[in-house]
Copies of this chain bind each other. A is one copy, B any other.
Amino acid sequence: MAPKTKYDIIAEIAKRRGFFWPSFEIYGGMSGFTTYGDLGTKLKRNIEALWKEYFVRKQGFLELEAPVINPERVFEASGHLENFKEYSAECSQCGNSFRADHLIEDKTGLENVEAMGGDAIKSMMVELKIKCPRCGGALKEPTLILTMFKTEIGATGGEVGYLRPETAQAMFLNYKRGIIHAREKLPFALVQSSKVARNEISPRRGMLRLREFTIMELELFFDPESPDCPWFGDVKDAVIRLYNEDMVENSVEEPLVLSVEEAVEKKLIITEWQAYFMGLSQRFIETLGVPAENQRFRAHLPDERAHYSAQPYDHEVKLETWGWTEISGCAYRTNFDLSNHMEASGQNMEVRREDGTRFVPHVVEPSYGLDRLMYIVMENSYERRGKRNIMHIPKELSPYQVAVFPIVKKDGIAEKAVEIRNLLLSKGLWVSYDAGGSIGRRYARVDEIGTPLAVAIDYDTMESDTLTIRDRDSWEQVKLSIDKLPDALAAYFRGENPFLELGEKVVRE
């Protein structure tokens, strides 16, 4: 048996404790679909809320929520109907289909085979004598397959529709309303966090290639003649690790390490807006627990680019299981999309400058896969300490903020613990309550689900109104009087560490 990867370890905890697991288990499963339990749903929501702190609230950008199902005309105009395809090789024996480029990658260790194009893929399949990975049968010549989910809208004879594979088109479709709501002023952004679906031919890598997932996407509309970003100063000194096109082309190993501002000055990043979002992105991902040195930005080569993109940078994070992994694309899309929709719909999307000239706004797009970020938070926060698993989930993101335990159930201690639980609930905290099993097992559980603090109620509580508060990361315990608890917790979640000041340290574990 292959040794357990980090992914296996995380996935096992995720399933046992309730972060995520494969969907439709009781009916034999269906690859590419994940179900989130209580902890995963909350962790995802907290990551999304943090993303809004970074990318929406402070800038006053405009949110949007548009349908997942779209009529065919939308994807005709956007180019997806022509381009959102992959090479699929069907087994002539068992009938299963597989992504041809992935089969080649698995056999050769090459990366990004997709970018080599159809002819290369077809001939490599033959030269490498690739067989069906499931039954060993002969594979037919790969053909291009549209990887959007197709459906029909309306009753008999309805209109063909597809589930959107990204959310950006909605921002372009609703651009004309957006600019009115932005009071006719550029720059402005439309932002969406919502579901998308991709009919992957043969999903693999668990969480990293799902058929249904959540994208957090932002389209920033600006005048290419006024390309300044008003918040650029906030990130300009951030030091990033960058591989530009030349470096990727020549497989340079060491990245350029330079400030965001230098990257713009050296024209490694064309627009200030794109540079702003890259700097902001690094900071956001740091808050998720990934240090800057485990992050990098990698340019796409011209033949790796999506059909719309002028200067895309992938934001990558180093994972133990899969190495450098894309978590975000930050692309300069020019006015490609708005121009397409303008032509296809006949609607004018131009903006008039004060000098009377007209133009179609340009677009910069930072976009994240939320499900993937959730996994990254989990992998990064995982520690094995002795026989214990600890998830050092950043406290801003933890599914539950504090756990409440009565040491025993008798002598009024459970009732007291419920009282404390209700007190903390009334302060707006997410509180878990656990009265069962040994206290050691209960501490082990909060460690494994990443609850940063646990409060134990014992006989001292009944006598002197003090309780014990325990820190997940250090396992330190402090005695604290009940009346100080709410303020101490509030301070803690503001980023302070008030416990040692307010309480008396005890050692019990």
Given contacts A60-B433, A68-B212, contact A145 B150 (CB under 8 A): no
Which residues of chain B come closer than 8 Å to A341, judged between CB atoms?
26
Q: Please tell me if the beta carbons of B23 and A97 are within 8 angstroms of each other in the complex.
A: no
Which residues of chain B come closer than 8 Å to A32, judged between CB atoms?
153
CA distance A265 to B119 in the complex (A): 76
Q: Please tell me if the beta carbons of B69 and A345 are within 8 angstroms of each other in the complex.
A: no
Which residues of chain B come closer than 8 Å to A69, judged between CB atoms?
33, 149, 163, 197, 211-212
Is A134 positioned at the interface, with any CB of B under 8 Å from its CB?
no
Q: Please tell me if the beta carbons of A201 and B36 are within 8 angstroms of each other in the complex.
A: no
Q: Please tell me if the beta carbons of B151 and A347 are within 8 angstroms of each other in the complex.
A: no
Which residues of chain B come closer than 8 Å to A21, judged between CB atoms?
177
CA distance A321 to B431 in the complex (A): 42
Give the contact stretch, choosing among A37-45, A219-227, A296-304, A355-363.
A37-45
Is A237 positioned at the interface, with any CB of B under 8 Å from its CB?
no
Is A24 positioned at the interface, with any CB of B under 8 Å from its CB?
yes
A88 to chain B, nearest CB (A): 5
Residue of B nearest to A152 (CB): B150
Given contacts A37-B177, A66-B35, contact A211 B23 (CB under 8 A): no
Q: For window 122-167 of chain A, which residues contact chain B by CB distance below 8 Å? A: 145, 149-159, 163
**Set B156, B176, B202: member contacting A145, Cβ < 8 A:** B156
Q: Please tell me if the beta carbons of A63 and B35 are within 8 angstroms of each other in the complex.
A: no
CA distance A160 to B66 in the complex (A): 25
Q: For window 209-232 of chain A, which residues contact chain B by CB distance below 8 Å? A: 211-212
Q: For window 49-66 of chain A, which residues contact chain B by CB distance below 8 Å? A: 57-58, 60, 62-66
Looking at A35, A157, A170, A211, the one whose CB has the most chain B CB atoms below 10 A away is A35
As for how many copies of this chain the complex holds, the number is 2
Is A412 positioned at the interface, with any CB of B under 8 Å from its CB?
no
Chain A contact residue count (CB 8 A cutoff): 82
Given contacts A27-B73, A69-B211, A156-B88, contact A36 B60 (CB under 8 A): no
**Set B17, B64, B67, B430: member contacting A181, Cβ < 8 A:** B17
CA distance A259 to B88 in the complex (A): 63
Q: Please tell me if the beta carbons of A41 and B26 are within 8 angstroms of each other in the complex.
A: no
Which residues of chain B come closer than 8 Å to A152, judged between CB atoms?
149-150, 199
CA distance A163 to B162 in the complex (A): 12
CA distance A73 to B58 in the complex (A): 46
Q: Please tell me if the beta carbons of A177 and B57 are within 8 angstroms of each other in the complex.
A: no
Is A18 positioned at the interface, with any CB of B under 8 Å from its CB?
yes
Chain A window 422-439, contacts with chain B (Cβ cutoff 8 Å), 1 for yes, 0 for no? 000100001111101000
Q: Please tell me if the beta carbons of B432 and A38 are within 8 angstroms of each other in the complex.
A: no
Q: Please tell me if the beta carbons of A431 and B18 are within 8 angstroms of each other in the complex.
A: no
CA distance A152 to B90 in the complex (A): 16
Q: Please tell me if the beta carbons of B181 and A38 are within 8 angstroms of each other in the complex.
A: yes
A376 to chain B, nearest CB (A): 18
**Set B65, B199, B431: member contacting A44, Cβ < 8 A:** B65
- Could you list 13 further interchain pairs (A-B, Cβ under 8 angstroms) beyond the known A15-B177, A69-B197? A18-B62, A25-B173, A26-B176, A27-B71, A27-B77, A33-B69, A36-B65, A40-B65, A41-B64, A68-B212, A97-B156, A145-B155, A154-B201
| 8 closest A-B pairs by CB | A97-B155, A18-B181, A38-B62, A41-B63, A36-B65, A26-B345, A35-B66, A33-B67
